[in-house]
């Protein structure tokens, strides 16, 4: 038995949800470029869960269900109020999502209908939880969700407390489409491993949030913004990045296990970043990002991934930096839950082996003899 570090190149499951073939990302066979230009996040979520794009009636029903389930139980809001105000936002999200299960009477109902319903509930409630957490830690009352056409609109409304501009809704909606699913990424694999024990969907999503939190995965978007803030100015970009590369430090938002010739989602986020920066009149973050790309791609051959331009996009939308990864989780909930449903459909326990590298033949020595 020989281990492959990081399971690189290992095909661990079959899936008909999304694929990355020759650098092209598809959801259910639709090219991400096509979906990013044309589909709403709600259409994409339906596509991931049900395997086809919804017709008007099906989409209207989904939007109605998302609105119906968007409020979270008062007990969960009360619990969020007890979290330390400076707690990590992904830790808060992980805890709150886990606690939703306590108040869902069908949390352990494993029928396909109940599981799909819970997927929709989780998708509806995760934005409400994040917005509530963001306001509560500022000493403000959370804003209840309203009847909205889109999750993007409802989230920005609950977060910022005003009706968002159409341009902001469209930008967030597109970002959600771009992040919705990504084959067997670390957090999706985590979700599948959890539910393959026949544990419940809340456990699957809770463990996925834990995996997404890390800076080598979803946490990179926040780390990119921290880096941009640290650099501070266009003039400082070249010496700062050169210094990091000379120290063999990683530049967050670059590189990918699967894409070696560029992440197809990055170009959409770069374009959005430019367009939003022009609207806000602050091109500083965008120009610094372009300069960083020039250096890192030029010197290391590494291309930006989905997280790199997300940072300046979300900053232009006035979203606090530590909510970037929770927003990733809003979107990826659609993919996680689609994979969980697929795992249940054709389940087998996921239990690989480890190549043992420890010592052998040891004999027990009584404690006084050690
Ligand atoms: N900056 C500088 N060098 C890098 C970077 C980077 N961002 N990414 C990879 N490299 C280098 C490594 O140092 C390594 O060099 P070496 O062979 O000289 O030691 C080589 O490229 C291979 O890197 P690994 O880390 O082994 O590649 P792996 O496939 O395991 O990791 C990962 C992929 C985690 C995405 C990596 O590129 C990375 O850490 N990037 C920064 C974090 C990031 O942006 N994560 C978000 C990924 S997208 C997502 O999850 C949503």
**pLDDT in 10s for each residue of the chain, 370 residues:** 899 999 999 999 999 999 999 999 999 999 999 999 999 999 999 999 999 999 999 999 999 999 999 999 999 999 999 999 999 999 999 999 999 999 999 999 999 999 999 999 999 999 999 999 999 999 999 999 999 999 999 999 999 999 999 999 999 999 999 999 999 999 999 999 999 999 999 999 999 999 999 999 999 999 999 999 999 999 999 999 999 999 999 999 999 999 989 999 999 999 999 999 999 999 999 999 999 999 999 999 999 999 999 999 999 999 999 999 999 999 999 999 999 999 999 999 999 999 999 999 999 999 999 9
Instruction: Give the pLDDT of residue 1.
Output: 83
Q: Of the residues 179, 182, 217, 256, which is catalytic?
A: 256
Which residues span the domain enclosing 227?
Answer: 220-316
Q: How far, in Å, CA of 299 to CA of 246, rounded? A: 11
201 and 256 co-located in one domain: no
Q: Write out pLDDT tens, residues 193-233.
A: 999 999 999 999 999 999 999 999 999 999 999 999 999 99
Inside any domain, residue 364: no
Would you call 217 a catalytic residue per the annotation? Answer: no
Would you call 179 a catalytic residue per the annotation? Answer: no
307 and 334 co-located in one domain: no
Pocket test for ligand 1, best of 184, 190, 250, 324 (most atoms within 8 A of CB): 250
> Phi and psi of 19, rounded to 5°?
-140, 150
121 and 76 co-located in one domain: yes
305 lines ligand 1 (CB under 6 A): yes
169 and 97 co-located in one domain: yes
210 and 129 co-located in one domain: yes
Number of domains in the chain: 2
Q: How far, in Å, CA of 105 to CA of 96, rounded? A: 17
| HEC per residue, the chain | CCCCHHHCCCCCCCCCCEEEECCEEEECCEEHHHHHHHCCHHHHHHHHHHCCCCCHHHHHHHHHHHHHHCCCCHHHHHHHHCCCCCCCHHHHHHHHHHHHHHHCCCCCCCCHHHHHHHHHHHHHHHHHHHHHHHHHCCCCCCCCCCCCCCHHHHHHHHHHCCCCCHHHHHHHHHHHHHHCCECECHHHHHHHHHHCCCCCHHHHHHHHHHHHCCCCCCCHHHHHHHHHHHHCCHHHHHHHHHHHHHCCCCCCCECCCCCCCCCCCHHHHHHHHHHHHHHHCCCHHHHHHHHHHHHHHHHHCCCECHHHHHHHHHHHCCCCHHHHHHHHHHHHHHHHHHHHHHHHHCCCCCCCCCCCCCCCCCCCCCHHHC
Q: Which of 309, 162, 134, 129 lies closest to 228 in space, CA to CA?
A: 309
Inside any domain, residue 355: no
Inside any domain, residue 357: no
> Within a 10 A sphere around the Cβ of 146, how many other Cβ atoms?
12
Inside any domain, residue 366: no
| CA 130 to ligand 1 centroid distance, Å | 29
Cβ partners under 8 Å of residue 96, min gap 6: 72, 76, 79, 80, 129, 133
For the chain, give the number of residues. 370
Q: Kindly report whether the global pTM for this prediction surpasses the value 0.80.
A: yes
Inside any domain, residue 358: no
| CATH number of the domain where residue 91 is located | 1.10.580.10
184 and 224 co-located in one domain: no
Inside any domain, residue 369: no
262 and 167 co-located in one domain: no
- CA dist list (Å): 71 to 77, 82, 121: 10, 19, 9
Q: How far, in Å, CA of 145 to CA of 155, rounded? A: 8
Instruction: Give the pLDDT of residue 260.
Output: 85
CB-hemisphere CA count at 13 Å for 131?
Answer: 27
Inside any domain, residue 159: yes
Q: Is 62 left (phi over 0), alpha (psi -120 to 50) or beta?
A: alpha
Q: How far, in Å, CA of 81 to CA of 91, rounded? A: 14
52 and 184 co-located in one domain: yes
183 and 164 co-located in one domain: yes
| CA 250 to ligand 1 centroid distance, Å | 7
130 and 72 co-located in one domain: yes
Is 0.95 exceeded by the ipTM? yes
| CA 217 to ligand 1 centroid distance, Å | 10
174 and 226 co-located in one domain: no
335 lines ligand 1 (CB under 6 A): no
| CATH number of the domain where residue 272 is located | 1.10.230.10
| CA 238 to ligand 1 centroid distance, Å | 20
Q: How far, in Å, CA of 71 to CA of 262, rounded? A: 39
Inside any domain, residue 2: no
112 and 249 co-located in one domain: no
Instruction: Give the pLDDT of residue 11.
Output: 96
Q: Write out pLDDT tens, residues 102-114.
A: 999 999 999 999 9
């Amino acid at each position: 038995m020989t281990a492959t570090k990081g399971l690189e190149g290992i095909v661990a499951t079959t899936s008909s949800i999304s694929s990355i073939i020759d650098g092209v990302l598809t959801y259910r066979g639709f090219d991400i470029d096509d979906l990013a230009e044309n589909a709403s996040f709600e259409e994409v979520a339906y596509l991931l869960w049900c395997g086809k794009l919804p017709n008007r009636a099906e989409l209207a029903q989904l939007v109605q269900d998302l609105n119906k389930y968007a409020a979270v139980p008062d007990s969960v809001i009360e619990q969020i109020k007890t979290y330390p105000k400076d707690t990590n936002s992904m830790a808060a999200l992980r805890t709150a999502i886990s606690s939703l299960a306590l108040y869902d009477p069908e949390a352990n109902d494993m029928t396909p209908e109940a599981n799909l319903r819970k997927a929709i509930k989780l998708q509806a409630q995760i934005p409400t939880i994040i917005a509530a957490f963001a306001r509560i830690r500022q000493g403000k009352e959370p804003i209840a969700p309203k009847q909205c056409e889109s999750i993007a609109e409802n989230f920005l409304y609950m977060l910022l407390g005003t009706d968002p501009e159409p341009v902001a809704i469209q930008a967030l909606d597109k970002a959600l489409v771009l992040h919705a699913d990504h084959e067997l990424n670390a957090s999706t694999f985590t979700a599948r491993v959890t539910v393959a024990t026949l544990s419940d969907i809340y456990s699957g999503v809770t463990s996925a949030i834990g995996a997404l939190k890390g800076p080598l995965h979803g946490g990179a978007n926040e780390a990119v913004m921290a880096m941009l803030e640290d650099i501070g100015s266009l003039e400082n970009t070249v010496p700062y990045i050169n210094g990091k590369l000379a120290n063999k430090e990683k530049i967050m938002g670059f590189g990918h296990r699967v894409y070696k010739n560029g992440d197809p989602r990055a170009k959409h986020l770069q374009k959005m970043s430019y367009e939003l920066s022009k609207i806000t009149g602050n091109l500083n973050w965008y120009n610094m990002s372009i300069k960083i790309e020039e250096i890192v791609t030029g010197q290391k051959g590494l291309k930006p991934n989905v997280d790199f331009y997300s940072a300046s996009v979300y900053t232009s939308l006035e979203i606090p930096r530590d909510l970037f990864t929770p927003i990733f989780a809003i979107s990826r909930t659609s993919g996680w839950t689609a994979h969980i449903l697929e795992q249940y459909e054709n389940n087998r326990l996921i239990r690989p082996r480890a190549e043992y590298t420890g010592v052998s033949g040891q004999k027990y020595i009584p404690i006084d003899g050690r």
